Amino acid sequence: MSVVDEPDALRGISMREFVAKFQTDGFVIVKLQSLIQQTTVLREQFEASFQRRFTDDVNRNRNLLKRFAELPGTARLFLHPDIEIMVRELGVVEPVFCGPIVTHYTSHDVTGNSFGLPFHQDWPSMGSSRNSMVVWFSLTDAGADSHSLVVLPGRHMEGLLPGRHTERGYVLDPIDKVGEILQIRAGEMLIMSAFLPHKTFVNPHYEGWKMSLSRRFDDLSNREWADRGFANAYGTSVDRELYRSW
């Protein structure tokens, strides 16, 4: 079964309407059974092999989160053929990955530290094709009752909004809009424009945790990117001093 023959993958609307919705809102949510199953397995693995190894050493826990992003099963999730199909349908003609898989762990424990990035856009931390997209999954149900993501629908059309560069990304100047808290079940796939303003929704009353994963896609056919020599903001660096610190 794939996105072309799973009847409710697009929530009951046609692919054409789905593409139009993406263009208007800057995001869509896709429900694919095979991805939901893969995510269920990943969540079990996360709890059994990674979260179980958490201690009160925050750096160690964050390293575990990074190692989770490097799990073969996590890589496989983003290699699902339907992701490429959907990204192409939504306007990335020749998709290439942009940067590594990123984990987003939200909780009130020492590792999550109740942290949520304020409204930001992802594009400045990519600096690549302007039609690039972000694919995002949560291992847990995300919504107003738990932790989630808040978006400002339609504001991707305004391009880069005023903001400032911080160590954690390009943070927008204060916006007095509440935004839309996304309701996304575990394993459903969010695809959003790299220009869609979004932020983490941290529910102060929720005692559970949210673990989400994202990966970005660039478009090799984008002319403006070609003019800029296909550069992107990611690089590979090796900490050659690490072993000396042991």
Hey, is 55 helix, strand or coil? coil
Site string for Fe ion, 102-141 (x = CB under 5 A): --------------------x-------------------
Residues in contact with 210: Cβ distance below 8 Å, sequence separation at least 6, in sequence order: 104, 105, 106, 107, 138, 140, 142, 146, 147, 148
| DSSP β-bridge partners for residue 124 | none
> Smallest distance from the beta carbon of 199 to Fe ion, in angstroms?
8
What single letter denotes the amino acid at residue 205? Answer: H
> Smallest distance from the beta carbon of 120 to Fe ion, in angstroms?
6
Report how far Cα 242 is from the mean position of its chain's Cα atoms.
29
Q: Give the count of residues interacting with Fe ion (CB under 5 A).
A: 1
Residue 25 or 122: which CB sits closer to Fe ion? 122
Residue 89 or 122: which CB sits closer to Fe ion? 122
* 171 forms part of the interface with Fe ion (CB under 5 A): no
What is the helix (H) or strand (E) element at residue 161, kind and residue range? none
Residue 95 or 116: which CB sits closer to Fe ion? 116
Which phi and psi (to 5°) does residue 107 adopt? -165, 170
> Smallest distance from the beta carbon of 182 to Fe ion, in angstroms?
13
The two tokens of residue 241 are: 């001093």
> Smallest distance from the beta carbon of 223 to Fe ion, in angstroms?
26
Instruction: Select the residue whose beta carbon is closest to Fe ion and give its number.
Output: 122
Q: Footprint of Fe ion on this chain (CB under 5 A)?
A: 122
